[in-house]
Structure 1
Amino acid sequence: MDYVSLIGIAVGLSMDAFAVSLANGAVTRKVRPAFALKVAGCFGLFQSLMPIIGWLIGKAGASIINAVDHWIALILLSIIGIQMLREAHKCHGGEACLQDNIPTRTLLVLAVATSIDALATGILLPSAVGASTTQLMLLSVCLIGVVTLVLCYIGVYIGKKFGDRFTGKAQIIGGLVLIGIGIKIFVEHMWFS
């Protein structure tokens, strides 16, 4: 098994989730370890589950997944991004824009939207890292989940530092980041995959 490639894949897959974790930290009034772990846990869990689902679907389902995954990510991230922009407009900036918590339902939607590329990766992962057995495949997806969890946990705190400096603008920036990530995923899948 090629661990260097696997860690590279894990970091690459976690970047969208990391960016969303930054946005979540930026719009949260007070970040506690339990909140950061909740955010990181959701993203890490889905970054682990989606490759398993992709692996189980196998090559037969690859064309179906590749045909719709970018649309799903674009729609889900844009809806949540637009909701954040609306909230920012309603509260007129400042401390009033900050949230006490991100609803679990919203986190789950964000986790699914940012892990859809991991679904497609699961189809190719065994050959990419030499995971020739079920044990190696499970080890691979666990490593992906752990890398994502760690990066997202750190991302929530970095986002909070950013949010403290730009109170009032953080929710607008967060909404634009989510929409931007959706567009990035869409463009990559439409023209560069």
Structure 2
Amino acid sequence: MSIMAIILLSISMSMDAFAVSVGRGAALGRPPFREALRTGIVFGVVEAITPLIGWAAGVAAAAYISTIDHWVAFVLLGAVGLNMIYSALKGDEQDEQSSVNASFLVLVATAIGTSLDAMAVGVSLAFLDVNIAVIALGIGLATFIFASGGIMVGRLLGERFGRYAEGIAGIVLIGLGSSILYEHLMAA
């Protein structure tokens, strides 16, 4: 996987955390910098771990589906991308006001909820010749940056912009899945 593909994947995987952070930042009004860092760290760590979990599950299944692995990657990335686009179009808003003063456990639960797509991507990456540690680190770092930034700019951008970012990320994931399928079909 090229460095540009890793960067695009990392940014795409961080968009749902960005959208939630923008909403949380908008609800907080004037969030302190430490809240942005705390949110970024929690989201970044969880988002870095979940593709590793998905990758491990995919490696365990790889021997059984190696002849169709490019189709599995295409379908999984496409499904995650379509789900992100659907969520963006639907305007799926979380009740951020009720979670503004929520505990650390609620923040972790939210981070897990937004990182399930990274786990599915991790499964699809198990069928490719990639360095999962580099990709997981990239996803975690991008998510830290986007979640922290989302908190700080939330009051300026509001939740609406976060939905657009999530939709664009979905399109990018569909493009990556299509690219993987195309490369494998052309190589055959």
TM-score (norm. length: structure 2): 0.62
The answer for unaligned runs of 5 or more in structure 1 is 88-97, 164-169, 186-193
> 1:37 aligns to what?
37
Give the Cα–Cα distance (whole angstroms) in 2 for the partners of residues 26 and 12 of structure 1: 22
Give the Cα–Cα distance (whole angstroms) in 2 for the partners of residues 4 and 152 of structure 1: 21
Indicate if the aligned counterparts of 2:22 and 2:155 stay in contact, CA closer than 8 A: yes
The amino acid of 1:45's aligned partner reads V
Match of 1:152 among 130, 147, 150: 147
Deviation of the 1:126 alpha carbon:
4.7
> 1:8 aligns to what?
8
> 1:118 aligns to what?
118
After superposition, give the CA deviation of every residue in 1:12-62 in whole Å (9 maximum; x if it has no partner).
111111000000101114311110011111111111010000011125399
The 5-angstrom pairing of residues 19-168 of structure 1 reads: 19-58=19-58, 60=61, 81=94, 83-84=95-96, 99=100, 101-127=101-127, 130-131=129-130, 136-162=131-157
After superposition, give the CA deviation of every residue in 1:76-133 in whole Å (9 maximum; x if it has no partner).
xx8x93x557x5xxxxxxxxxx95x4421221111111110100111122555x41xx
The amino acid of 2:38's aligned partner reads K
Paired-residue identity, %: 27
Give the Cα–Cα distance (whole angstroms) in 1 for the partners of residues 138 and 14 of structure 2: 11
Other structure's SS at 1:31 match: coil
Give the Cα–Cα distance (whole angstroms) in 1 for the partners of residues 8 and 53 of structure 2: 20
After superposition, give the CA deviation of every residue in 1:148-176 in whole Å (9 maximum; x if it has no partner).
1111111111103346xxxxxx8xx8xxx
Other structure's SS at 1:20 match: helix
> 2:176 aligns to what?
none
> 1:17 aligns to what?
17
Residues 1:34 and 1:49: Cα distance change in structure 2 (over 3 Å): same
Give the Cα–Cα distance (whole angstroms) in 1 for the partners of residues 126 and 5 of structure 2: 12
